[in-house]
Amino acid sequence: MMQWIAFLFFASMTLLSALGVVFLSNIIYVILSLLSTLVMVAGIFFVAGAELVGALQLLIYAVAIAVFYVLVLTAVPWEKALKKDSHYRIEGVLTFPILLAFYLEIILVFLLGVSVSPKGQIREFIQNLGNTQVVGSILFSKYFFAFELVSLVLLVGMIGAVIVGRKEDKTYEDSTS
């Protein structure tokens, strides 16, 4: 009963703030509703008993990622933030089919994931070990290859960021002459 009330609260708040992200005109309000969406999704995870995922959702999405948006957007002067019309109307219309394809892919992947996910086999496992250990042991046994692949991608991204961000000894004008 309590669980249902909590779930309905978090779910409706998620939907409301997600709508806010789309329809609000002030970009600071938009980023705040995005933040609210992320926090509410963490709430849904907590209700579902996935404490580790919920805490990571808060730590990574609501803090580490959203803070970069806030950092950039707070540097925008307030007159520009209130601008009503968009600069990218035509581009937006042109990208719509691609966006639709992406959403279809997400739905497809979600349905496939639901069909192959274990049904009730790990419940006993969770009761014996607790949330964090279960996630760790599954990640490092069943999905080890995918895990290593993702960490390789992140490593490549990190090296790329270091190379892009490093100071050059010579400017580009010097090298061309």
Partner 1 sequence: MESLFVQLLVIGIKILVILGVVLGLGAYLTLVERKVAAHIQRRPGPMVVGWHGLLQPLADGLKLITKEDIFPRAGNRFLYNLALVLALVPAVLVFAVVPFGPEFEVFGVKVKPILTDVNVGLLLVFALGSMAVYAIALAGWASNSKYALIGSMRKAGIIVSYEVVITFAVMGPVILAGTLSTYEIVQQQINQKLWYIWLQPIAFVVYMFAMLAETGRVPFDIQEAEAELVTGFTVEYGGIKFGLFPLVEWYVEVLSLSAIAVVLFLGGWSPINIPFLGFIDPLFFLGPLSPFVWFILKVALLFLFVLWLHWTLPRYRIDQITETAWKVMLPLTFVNLVLTAVLAPIVWR
Q: Between 49 and 92, whose beta carbon lies closer to partner 1?
A: 49
What gap in Å lies between CA 47 and CA 53, rounded to an integer?
Answer: 11
Minimum Å gap between C-beta 78 and partner 1 is 6
Report which DSSP code applies to 74.
T
What gap in Å lies between CA 36 and CA 32, rounded to an integer?
Answer: 6
**Which residues contact partner 1 by CB under 8 A?**
28, 32, 35, 51-52, 54-56, 58-59, 62-64, 67-68, 70-71, 74-75, 78, 130-132
Minimum Å gap between C-beta 129 and partner 1 is 11
Residue found under tokens 């509703």: 33
Minimum Å gap between C-beta 58 and partner 1 is 4
Q: How far is CA 137 from CA 127, 129, 130, 140, 157, in A?
A: 14, 10, 11, 5, 26
Minimum Å gap between C-beta 71 and partner 1 is 5
Q: Between 3 and 95, whose beta carbon lies closer to partner 1?
A: 3
> Could you tell me if 16 and 49 are in contact, meaning their C-beta atoms sit under 8 angstroms apart?
no
Q: Which token pair is 164?
A: 């892009």
Q: Between 95 and 132, whose beta carbon lies closer to partner 1?
A: 132
Q: Which token pair is 152?
A: 């390789």
Q: Between 96 and 140, whose beta carbon lies closer to partner 1?
A: 140
> Could you tell me if 43 and 70 are in contact, meaning their C-beta atoms sit under 8 angstroms apart?
no
